[in-house]
């Protein structure tokens, strides 16, 4: 029996109190605040359950068994741990007394059904026009940042966008905990590792990223940009590794650029602010904004192109698609619509060749000589 199969059997036994939630496709997250207080996210809503672990000891046995699958330990020296279940579900554990009510664990379930681009159109998460625009950007090797709040669907969308990458290209994927499920043949997947009980053997996202540059990647995909490695990422994007992608926690495209700037500063490399901002704007081409609505819906609510810094050295973006609410309605239902702005990539030879495949976005990518006189909508911060 394979190692993963053995762990799957034992983990299922230890997690018996929440097994029915792990099997329920409508449940996306299981939040164990204490052994006697368990919440789930079901169809986008938080629900308190009647599930219970028999004791604190039974709960800790489940926690330690899960961590063992990825070779991690929960100790006073390492009280915060990320792990995953054998099926790929993401796990985060916080040890008491950092968690004042006791050790807590959250399980973000791995999606058993992988969404594709057309399915997202059917769900209303984006439109066919936005899908084609982003497909052109991926094929045209634009660097894309997927931005959104917690549980807004960033990883899911990154999976969908990655499906547009040609199968012959070599892709290196770097993650803290493996979540991405790319379908290409030529794929190298790297996962970070924490230090052992003696503080040895740690391998960070930053370490893996530096190593990946020696693996001759055509594209690099970072599961999430969250620390000082951001500076290396944007430097790689501007030095021959076009078409890379990552995700970031932010509330808008402009917020995403400001947050990326802050993460770069965490590298402790002293750069003039203008030089750093110029690097950021040169590295990131397109930002896709995701939003999770109160009813649980997850939708693309904005697609923006990053422009050069303005005269005051501020970030600027051009909104290509925005989410507009339905008129004469009090609900949050709406649709992603083209703003009428033209893409700045329309003059690029590679995009002009790709436009032969375009059915819906010819007007967006119209080259300079064919652009309408109307000025595009732009935002600055």
Question: Which tens digits make up the pLDDT trace of 276-326?
Answer: 999 999 999 999 999 988 887 889 999 999 999 999 999 999 999 999 987
Question: Residue 284 in contact with residue 323, Cβ under 8 Å?
Answer: no
Q: What whole-number distance in Å separates Cα of residue 183 and Cα of residue 366?
A: 32
Q: What is the mean pLDDT of residues 149-161?
A: 89
- The CATH code for residues 117-380 is 3.40.50.300
Percentage of the chain lying above the pLDDT 90 cut: 46
Cα–Cα–Cα angle for 224, 230, 233, nearest 5°? 95
What residue segments make up the domains of the chain, in order of their start? 18-108, 117-380
Question: Residue 170 in contact with residue 319, Cβ under 8 Å?
Answer: no
Q: Where are the beta strands (DSSP E) in 182-224?
A: 187-191, 219-222
Asked if pLDDT for residue 372 goes beyond 50, the answer is: no
Q: What is the mean pLDDT of residues 256-266?
A: 93
Asked if pLDDT for residue 371 goes beyond 60, the answer is: no
Is residue 366 very low, low, confident or very high in pLDDT (cuts 50, 70, 90)? Answer: confident
> What are the φ and ψ backbone dihedral angles of 13, each rounded to 5 degrees?
-70, -45
- The CATH code for residues 18-108 is 3.30.450.370
> What are the φ and ψ backbone dihedral angles of 116, each rounded to 5 degrees?
-110, 175
Percentage of the chain lying above the pLDDT 70 cut: 92
Contacts of 357 (CB under 8 A, 6+ apart): 136
Smallest CA-to-CA distance from 47 within 66, 81, 24, 63 is with 24
């Amino acid at each position: 029996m394979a190692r993963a199969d053995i762990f799957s059997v034992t983990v299922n036994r230890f997690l018996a109190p929440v097994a029915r939630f792990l099997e329920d496709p409508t449940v996306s997250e299981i939040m164990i605040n204490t052994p006697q207080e368990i919440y789930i996210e079901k169809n986008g809503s938080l629900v308190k359950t009647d599930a219970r672990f028999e004791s604190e000891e039974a709960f800790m046995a489940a926690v330690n068994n899960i961590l063992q699958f990825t070779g991690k330990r929960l100790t006073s020296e390492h009280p915060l741990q990320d792990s995953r279940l054998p099926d790929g579900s993401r796990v985060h554990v916080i040890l008491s007394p950092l968690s004042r009510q006791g050790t807590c664990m959250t399980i973000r379930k791995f999606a058993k059904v992988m969404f594709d681009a057309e399915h997202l159109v059917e769900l209303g998460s984006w439109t066919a026009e936005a899908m084609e625009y982003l497909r052109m950007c991926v094929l045209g090797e634009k660097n894309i940042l997927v931005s959104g709040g917690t549980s807004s669907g960033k990883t899911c969308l990154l999976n969908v966008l990655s499906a547009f990458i040609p199968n012959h290209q070599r892709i290196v994927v770097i993650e803290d905990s493996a979540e991405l499920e790319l379908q290409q043949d030529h794929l190298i997947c790297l996962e970070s590792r924490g230090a052992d009980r003696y503080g040895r053997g740690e391998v960070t996202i930053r370490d893996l990223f530096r190593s990946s540059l020696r693996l001759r990647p055509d594209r690099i995909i970072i599961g999430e940009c969250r620390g000082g490695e951001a500076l290396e990422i944007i430097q790689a994007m501007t030095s021959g590794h076009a078409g890379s992608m990552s995700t970031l926690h932010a509330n808008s495209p402009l917020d995403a650029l400001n947050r990326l700037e802050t993460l770069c500063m965490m590298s402790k490399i002293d750069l003039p602010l203008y030089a750093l901002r110029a690097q950021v704007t040169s590295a990131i081409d397109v930002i896709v904004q995701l939003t999770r609505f109160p009813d649980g819906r997850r939708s693309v609510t904005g697609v923006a192109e990053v422009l050069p810094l303005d005269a005051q050295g501020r970030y600027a973006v051009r909104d290509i698609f925005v989410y507009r609410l339905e008129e004469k309605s009090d609900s949050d239902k709406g649709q992603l619509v083209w703003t009428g702005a033209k893409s700045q990539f329309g003059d690029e030879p590679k995009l002009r060749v790709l436009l032969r495949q375009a059915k819906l976005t010819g007007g967006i990518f119209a080259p300079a000589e064919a652009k309408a006189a109307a000025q595009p909508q732009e935002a600055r911060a």
